[in-house]
Chains A and B, each alone.
Chain A
């Protein structure tokens, strides 16, 4: 059974940094691209960033490019999201998600989410 467990969400002040982690199990982690999707309170889903299985290629939403960095440690089956220069608009539940197949950019497994609150 695929399991994705996010951690690292916190209450944080504007301008500060935070690193989210997503521990994966139940599938061959290195074979799958992985993605972060966020959801602001009461709002819809917003794609944040994706990374290929090897980690060689990364993709970012314009809203986070230059501030967020996605990475992965395939030896630890763990996905990361380093978030710098956080803003109030980054407040959201952050989900990690598994891309369904090689070359797919839709997501067949999701974690339960971790909450990031950015406020002064």
Chain B
């Protein structure tokens, strides 16, 4: 099983700043890495797939990068609605696995 590790667990930032979230996989998943945003009481929302492709309707301030085992989600000019938990998920091999999440808080 590919283990997915996210860091940090919690990220404290101020509105308008840039948040950088990391995701590492225990073996290469090429670019088969996705990012999701989840707000309290809501279902997850797909932000990024294929490591760097934005999903439909996702603002340009969200960007993804990386390949192999190291990936990054960058959120520039943080808005109030961006404070949430972010999960990465690998689809390079079965079983599909998610990271433990990074909470972005004010």
Contacts and interface: CB of A to CB of B under 8 A. Distances in A.
Contacts of A113: 43
Interface string B65-91: 000000000000000000000010101
B100 A106 contact: no
Contact of A108 (B38, B46, B89, B98): B46
B43 A104 contact: no
B73 to A, nearest CB: 14
Interface residues of B, number: 23
Given A45-B89, A106-B89, A112 B43 contact: yes
Contact of A44 (B45, B56, B87, B91): B87
B91 A104 contact: yes
A50 B46 CA distance: 17
Contacts, number: 56
A35 B56 CA distance: 20
Contacts of B45: 110
Interface string B38-62: 1000011110010000011000000
Max chain A Cβ within 10 angstroms of own Cβ: one of B34, B55, B95: B95
A46 B1 CA distance: 13
Contacts of A50: 96
A50 to B, nearest CB: 7
Interface of B: 1, 32, 34, 36, 38, 43-46, 49, 55-56, 87, 89, 91, 94-101
24 contacts: A44-B98, A45-B89, A45-B98, A46-B98, A47-B97, A59-B94, A59-B96, A60-B95, A61-B95, A62-B1, A62-B95, A95-B43, A100-B46, A100-B55, A104-B91, A105-B32, A106-B46, A106-B49, A106-B89, A107-B44, A108-B46, A110-B44, A111-B43, A113-B43
Given A47-B96, A47-B97, A62-B1, 6 more contacts: A35-B96, A44-B87, A45-B89, A47-B98, A61-B95, A107-B46
